[in-house]
Amino acid sequence: MNDGAAAQSRFITIEGGEGAGKSTQIGRLSGRLSAAGIDVLTTREPGGAPGADAIRRLLVEGAPERWDAETEALLHFAARRDHLVRTVWPALDAGRWVVCDRFADSTMAYQGYGHRLGRDFVAALYRLVIGDFAPDLTLILDVPVKTGLARAEVRGGDETRYEAMDEGFHERLREGFLDIAAREPERCVVIDAGRDADAVAADVWTVVAQRLEVAA
């Protein structure tokens, strides 16, 4: 990516555990940004490009024990690289804003904390695959584990591999997201996602408008 080519572009990531309501909030945020006259692209990880979508199916379907932690992390970063090269970086270079459902913080939380792989392994992969590139703003939607899993169960679908992991795993990944936010407060903001969608959306917009100087 040519970092100097699109000074006005922004990369926003939305993070959180299962059932945090990311998809709902991304839809609302992209609508508000569009209404403010911003050209915005919404995307997701794993996925967001043909190759990355193929890898997604390997990660989110099947039995919880399908992969070990190292393999999962490698697969996520392979999908991430394809997504960046084919979707995210071209959009940013074109001056667009990109709002992404999950990014590298999810790998750190899910594999680094949830699977106890550790921060160093994930951080090393980040440096190797991504380099210095990072989101301009990360919103972490925080919800109690039991609440989130109950929401995810109602949602249904075939992509239930991570949801099927034990509660201890989900508690660790929630703690991981909170630790990530505490380590990088200049980039990350935690939002209470246990409330109704309207209240969460209001907080999301306030943070984005203030941090990235968007006129309402």
User: What are residue 62's phi and psi, to 5 degrees?
Assistant: 95, -175
| 3-state secondary structure (DSSP) of residue 66 | helix
Is the separation of the CB atoms in 189 and 138 below 8 Å?
A: yes
Predicted pLDDT at 157: 72
User: What are residue 179's phi and psi, to 5 degrees?
Assistant: -70, -40
* pLDDT of 3 over the 50 cut: no
pLDDT per residue as tens digits for the range 57-69 = 999 999 999 999 9
Instruction: Kindly indicate whether the domain formed by 11-211 is annotated with CATH number 3.40.50.300.
Output: yes
Query: What does the pLDDT average to over 66-89?
Result: 97
pLDDT per residue as tens digits for the range 167-210 = 999 999 999 999 999 999 999 999 999 999 999 999 999 999 99
pLDDT per residue as tens digits for the range 4-17 = 334 589 999 999 99
pLDDT per residue as tens digits for the range 109-118 = 999 999 999 9
Is the separation of the CB atoms in 3 and 90 below 8 Å?
A: no
For 4, 23, 52, 143, 196, the CA distances from 206, given in Å and listed in that order, are 27, 18, 32, 19, 16
Q: What is the pTM of this model?
A: 0.93
Strand ranges inside the chain, DSSP E:
11-16, 40-44, 97-101, 137-142, 188-192
Domain boundaries, the chain: 11-211
pLDDT per residue as tens digits for the range 24-63 = 999 999 999 999 999 999 999 999 999 999 999 999 999 9
Predicted pLDDT at 5: 38
* β 40-44/97-101 pair status: parallel
Among residues 40, 45, 150, 164, the alpha carbon closest in space to that of 114 is found at 164
